[in-house]
């Protein structure tokens, strides 16, 4: 992923998400918006706002950037600004919660389609297709700053999609006449369910779980970042607990794929033209099939338009003796396929022995798909949209001073409750995941977490309020 959108640090640079009306499977058309729409019943919850309050002047993007840069300059030389908590004024924020904004399911149909191929290479390519579509918000939008997640805050949602994808007929192990395989017919819509919770505050970590029961595919992981401001750009890397995304295909003998994250950079701060770039290597491994993919995001030149090029290789490897980290070091005899293209456009793959490249995915026409949310009356007080609703209302109404005060009240309440737990010797326990972090990077659901996912599948959202609150 592009790590600029972690929900875990006050120094985050997510991008505006372009949302659509209900999509027409398998892909849909979207109308770009300046700001993603919020449900109207959530935009008017705030009871503290005065009906006669005079809106304040909203700063333009240039003013926001100058203010933000003046704050960042205080952190030049700091090893990890992601571990430093500092409060931004409300006028610099995008009025939406981080846990609601951030996820890997900008195109959930590519996730649901994982595991359809009867061929090992085909399934690796399905995982890679998901990889290249999961961060469309970075490609289609511009940087913004949502709210920081608070301890115990959680978010749940789902998508109903048709997992037929135009390019899937190009994959090995898929019947090109109907896009089918031995495990799916691909004709009906399927539901992709998502649950995430802020499990730790120091260090800031969130856990997530993705599930598509009809297709027998799931994913999980922790998100944590490390960020450093160099004076001209910000480098964002995975934190120590962020070991990637772990995708499991139950119907394929529980094949597990680990997808690691590359470093990303936010540049253009001094010019006032923010740009996200990636010039790093990441890996996708599946010990059960003995396949590994190396993806190299190419460095951009100093002159000319950004190309966003990448190249990759899929090859046989030994999970117990894996030392290959560069494409050029992969023995030719082990190569199964090669990849090339632009991660902003078209990605192609070429199997060994073939002279013709096939299209894996075309990013160009794609935009993020709208989520399905629990009804407002069934959301808990620490559920992201309801938790931040008063701050959201104030920002939308351009009452920035009021929004800043409300946000600071939340931050102070979180500090006070942390101090109370310390005084009582009480350790924080996540509600839906078994621990704040795990050494293997794979969070486990609690019994309540499993029930929440089952409820999302059945459109049953009633939950009791949490007995312990982080803020």
**How confident is the prediction for the chain on average, in pLDDT?**
84
Map residue 128 onto helix, strand or coil.
Answer: helix
Residue 345 near residue 308 (C-beta atoms within 8 A):
yes
Is the model's pLDDT at 266 over the cut of 50? yes
Higher pLDDT, 405 or 141: 405
Distance CA 347, CA 456 (A): 33
Return left, alpha or beta for 196; rule: phi > 0 is left, psi -120 to 50 is alpha, else beta: beta
Higher pLDDT, 231 or 367: 367
pLDDT given for residue 27 in this prediction: 32
Residues 6+ apart with CB under 8 A from 173: 117, 118, 119, 120, 121, 122, 123, 181
Residue 172 near residue 122 (C-beta atoms within 8 A):
yes
pLDDT in tens, 87-110: 677 878 889 999 998 899 999 999
Inter-residue long-range contacts of 249-255, CB under 8 Å, 24+ positions, other chains counted? 249/114, 249/115, 249/123, 249/216, 249/217, 250/216, 250/217, 250/218, 251/115, 251/183, 251/215, 251/216, 251/217, 252/115, 252/123, 252/183, 253/288, 254/288, 255/115, 255/123, 255/286, 255/288, 255/289
Higher pLDDT, 7 or 353: 353
pLDDT given for residue 77 in this prediction: 67
Q: DSSP secondary-structure letter at 143?
A: B
pLDDT in tens, 382-430: 999 999 999 999 999 999 999 999 999 999 999 999 999 999 999 999 9
pLDDT in tens, 312-347: 999 999 999 999 999 999 999 999 999 999 999 999
Strand ranges across the sheet with 225-229 = 225-229, 234-238, 264-267, 275-277
CA 35 from chain centre, in angstroms, equals 18
Mean pLDDT calculated for residue range 276-287: 94
Determine how β-strand 245-249 pairs with β-strand 291-297.
unpaired
pTM of the model: 0.84
Closest by alpha carbon to 397, among 47, 44, 67? Answer: 44
Residue 275 near residue 306 (C-beta atoms within 8 A):
yes
Mean pLDDT calculated for residue range 118-137: 96
Residues 6+ apart with CB under 8 A from 216: 115, 183, 249, 250, 251
pLDDT given for residue 302 in this prediction: 65
Residue 304: pLDDT band with limits 50, 70, 90: low
pLDDT given for residue 34 in this prediction: 39
pLDDT given for residue 53 in this prediction: 59
Tokens 């495990």 correspond to: 183
Tokens 């990637």 correspond to: 244
Is the model's pLDDT at 1 over the cut of 50? no
Distance CA 225, CA 89 (A): 22
Closest by alpha carbon to 23, among 126, 138, 161? Answer: 161
Does an H or E element contain 212, and which?
A: strand 204-212
Structure tokens at 108: 């959930």
Q: DSSP secondary-structure letter at 142?
A: -
């Amino acid at each position: 992923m592009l790590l600029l959108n972690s929900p875990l640090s006050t120094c985050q640079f997510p991008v505006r998400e372009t949302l659509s009306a209900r999509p027409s499977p398998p892909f849909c058309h979207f109308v770009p918006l300046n700001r993603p729409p919020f449900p109207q019943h959530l935009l008017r919850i705030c009871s503290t706002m005065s009906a006669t309050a005079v809106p304040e002047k909203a700063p333009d993007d240039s003013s926001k950037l100058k203010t933000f840069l003046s704050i960042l300059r205080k952190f030049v030389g700091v090893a990890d600004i992601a571990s430093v908590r500092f409060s931004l004024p409300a006028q610099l924020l995008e009025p939406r919660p981080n846990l609601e904004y951030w996820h890997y399911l900008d195109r959930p149909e590519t996730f649901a389609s994982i595991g359809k191929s009867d061929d090992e290479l085909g399934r690796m390519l399905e995982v890679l297709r998901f990889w290249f579509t999961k961060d469309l918000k970075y490609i289609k939008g511009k940087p913004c700053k949502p709210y920081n997640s608070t301890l115990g805050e959680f978010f749940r949602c789902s998508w109903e999609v048709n997992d037929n994808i135009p390019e899937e007929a190009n994959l090995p192990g898929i019947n090109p006449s109907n896009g089918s395989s031995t495990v799916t017919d691909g004709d009906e819509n399927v539901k992709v369910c998502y649950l995430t919770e802020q499990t730790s505050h120091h260090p800031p970590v969130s856990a997530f779980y993705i599930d598509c029961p009809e297709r027998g595919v799931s994913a999980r992981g922790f998100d944590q970042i490390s960020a450093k401001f160099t004076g001209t750009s910000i480098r964002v890397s995975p934190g120590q607990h962020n070991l990637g995304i772990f995708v499991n295909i139950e119907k394929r003998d529980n094949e597990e794929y680990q997808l690691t994250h590359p470093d990303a950079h936010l540049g253009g701060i001094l010019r006032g033209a923010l740009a996200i770039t990636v010039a790093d290597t990441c890996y996708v491994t599946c010990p059960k099939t003995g396949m590994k993919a190396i993806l190299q995001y190419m460095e951009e030149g100093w002159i000319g338009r950004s190309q966003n090029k990448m190249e990759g290789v899929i090859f046989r490897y030994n999970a117990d003796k894996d030392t290959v980290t560069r494409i050029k070091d992969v023995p030719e005899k082990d190569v199964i396929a090669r990849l090339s293209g632009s991660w902003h456009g078209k990605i192609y793959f070429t199997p060994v022995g073939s002279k013709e490249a096939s299209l894996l995915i075309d990013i160009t026409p794609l935009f993020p798909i709208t989520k399905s949310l629990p009804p407002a009356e069934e959301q808990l007080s620490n559920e992201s949209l309801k938790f931040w609703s008063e701050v959201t209302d104030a920002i939308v109404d351009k009452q920035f001073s009021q929004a800043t005060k409300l946000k600071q009240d939340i931050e102070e309440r979180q500090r006070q409750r942390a101090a109370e737990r310390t005084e009582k010797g009480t350790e924080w326990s996540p509600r839906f995941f078994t621990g704040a972090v795990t050494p293997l990077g794979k969070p486990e659901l609690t019994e309540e977490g499993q029930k929440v996912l089952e409820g999302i599948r059945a459109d049953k959202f009633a939950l009791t309020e949490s007995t312990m609150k982080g803020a």
